[in-house]
């Protein structure tokens, strides 16, 4: 490739550290797509002949078919996917294959290929996130009125509904999808034609190439075009946040599946056994989702460190942008599939959840709110009265609703029989009607809103 300048070949260690074909073969489809658009533009602008462009285009189709069928042999000696494709093209059509590289460099070529790959991957991940949201919405609708404990500090706090809890993850995934959509919008500029770093003297039409590849516009600065990896960083950032959300959910599933909680029963498809303890059902899929978040976060951190000290424009350090991104986005895709399967299959123990919802005096806040509403007490006074009643009940090892009216009046004389109307867990959740609250009517309304939105998105995706 650069034999005219060098008298000898690279050292074996140089081959080892320099070659990227072991991972960038994943860019094959994008590399060929970009090359076909580039050669079409070269023909339309008269830079290469129609006959040459047609031969190159047909040859690239053959290369694509060989790669898809598994017949293609990737050569480490050719370093990367770009030279592997170009070399095979030369074998198919002869020296005219060399005209394909007119008015471009591997610098803008790899920037293009990677943008295309990241864009394709964002679209795939968005579909997976939408599918997970859909499964969560279905479960939330089914369990809109089923009560479970809500926690702060992993201590029982207030009753919520299981549907409300599941919809919290639907909201998180909605933001995750929004971040990916923002990243996609910003990356959707076409760098090809920037050449090595300064542009080209050939009369190319960058607008045409951008349109052909589905970009909004060509990039505006050739130096930035070949050295920008913001689009990978931003996508990995969104992926890391999503992986963190999935990890939190995985942790909850691990807890819920323990005999101590007993809130959900996981299917055989997403659990494993023990080599020595025959009774075990281990929530390994949830644990792995929790653990794999570290790989996604690590990929983001690694690329930030690679990029932080690089002067403009391209440096070979930037070859380190791919392995971590490939692994991280594949890992996130796998985690989304695993969580989706677990949620679709698991069965909640509603009796266990309801019993746990009343533990730890979870309706104490309802009592304090009632004292404010019914008796007009300042909230701080109501808080103090409620705390005294909780202590009384705890000393007797009974629930608040088991205290007699006389016992309550000994602490606050104004309390009436009506207080017992707010002390049950189901009454508690029904009272939380503020927008975004856990009342079953709210949950059903939010689930309907999400269902309509997701169905619309699915229909739009199907029409494209």
Pairing of strands 217-218, 155-161: unpaired
Residue 156 φ/ψ, nearest 5 degrees = -55, 130
Pairing of strands 264-265, 189-190: unpaired
Which one is catalytic: 153, 201, 434, 463? Answer: 153
- Expressed in percent and rounded to 5, the helix, strand and coil fractions of the chain are 70, 5, 25
Contact 104, 38 (CB under 8 A): yes
Residue 221 φ/ψ, nearest 5 degrees = -135, 120
Pairing of strands 189-190, 217-218: parallel
- 455 Cβ partners below 8 Å, 6+ apart? none
Residue carrying the six token digits 């047609």: 54
Helix (H, G, I), strand (E, B) or coil at 221: coil
165 is annotated as an active-site residue: no
Q: Where are the beta strands (DSSP E) in 181-328?
A: 189-190, 217-218, 264-265
- Return d(Cα 304, Cα 321) in angstroms, integer: 9
Which one is catalytic: 49, 75, 274, 315? Answer: 274
Peptide linkage before 313 cis (omega within 30 of 0): yes
**Region for residue 314 given its phi and psi (left: phi exceeds 0; alpha: psi -120 to 50; beta: otherwise):** beta
274 is annotated as an active-site residue: yes
**Region for residue 94 given its phi and psi (left: phi exceeds 0; alpha: psi -120 to 50; beta: otherwise):** left
The catalytic residues are: 153, 274
């Amino acid at each position: 490739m650069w034999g005219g300048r060098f008298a000898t070949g690279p050292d074996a260690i140089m081959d080892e550290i320099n070659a990227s074909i072991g991972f960038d073969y994943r860019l094959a489809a994008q590399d060929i797509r970009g090359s076909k658009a580039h050669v079409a533009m070269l023909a339309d602008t008269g830079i290469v002949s129609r006959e040459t462009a047609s031969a190159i285009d047909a040859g690239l189709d053959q290369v694509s078919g060989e790669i898809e069928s598994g017949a293609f042999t990737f050569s480490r000696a050719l370093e990367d996917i770009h030279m592997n494709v170009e070399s095979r093209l030369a074998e198919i059509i002869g020296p005219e294959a060399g005209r394909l590289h007119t008015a471009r460099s591997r610098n803008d070529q790899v920037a293009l290929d990677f943008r295309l790959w990241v864009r394709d991957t964002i679209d795939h991940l968005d579909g997976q996130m939408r599918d997970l949201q859909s499964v969560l919405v279905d479960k939330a609708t089914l369990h809109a009125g089923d009560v479970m404990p809500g926690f702060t500090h992993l201590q029982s706090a207030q009753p919520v509904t299981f549907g409300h809890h599941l919809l919290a993850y639907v909201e998180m995934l909605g933001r995750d999808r929004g971040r990916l959509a923002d990243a996609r919008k910003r990356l959707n500029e076409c760098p090809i034609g920037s050449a090595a770093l300064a542009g080209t003297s050939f009369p190319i039409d960058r607008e045409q190439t951008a349109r052909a590849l589905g970009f909004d516009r060509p990039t505006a600065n050739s130096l930035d075009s070949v050295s920008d990896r913001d689009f990978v960083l931003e996508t990995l950032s969104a992926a890391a946040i999503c992986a963190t959300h999935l990890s939190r959910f995985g942790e909850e599933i691990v807890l819920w599946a323990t005999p101590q909680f007993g809130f959900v029963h996981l299917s055989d498809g997403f659990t494993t056994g023990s080599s020595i303890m025959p009774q075990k059902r281990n929530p390994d899929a949830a644990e792995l989702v929790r653990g794999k978040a570290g790989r996604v976060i690590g990929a983001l951190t690694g690329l930030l460190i690679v990029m932080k000290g690089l002067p403009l424009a391209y440096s070979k350090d930037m070859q380190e942008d791919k392995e971590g991104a490939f692994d991280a986005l594949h890992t996130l895709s796998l985690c989304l599939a695993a969580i989706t399967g677990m949620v679709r299959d698991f069965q909640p123990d509603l009796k266990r959840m309801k019993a746990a919802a009343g533990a730890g005096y979870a309706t104490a806040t309802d009592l304090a709110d009632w004292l404010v509403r019914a008796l007009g007490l300042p909230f701080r006074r109501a808080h103090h009265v409620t705390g005294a009643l909780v202590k009384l009940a705890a000393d007797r090892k009974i629930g608040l609703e088991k205290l007699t009216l006389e016992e309550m009046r000994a602490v606050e004389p104004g309390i009436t029989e009506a207080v017992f109307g707010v002390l049950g867990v189901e009454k508690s959740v029904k009272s939380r009607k503020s927008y975004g609250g856990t009342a079953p009517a709210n949950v059903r309304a939010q689930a309907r809103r999400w269902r309509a939105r997701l169905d619309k998105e699915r229909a739009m995706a199907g029409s494209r």
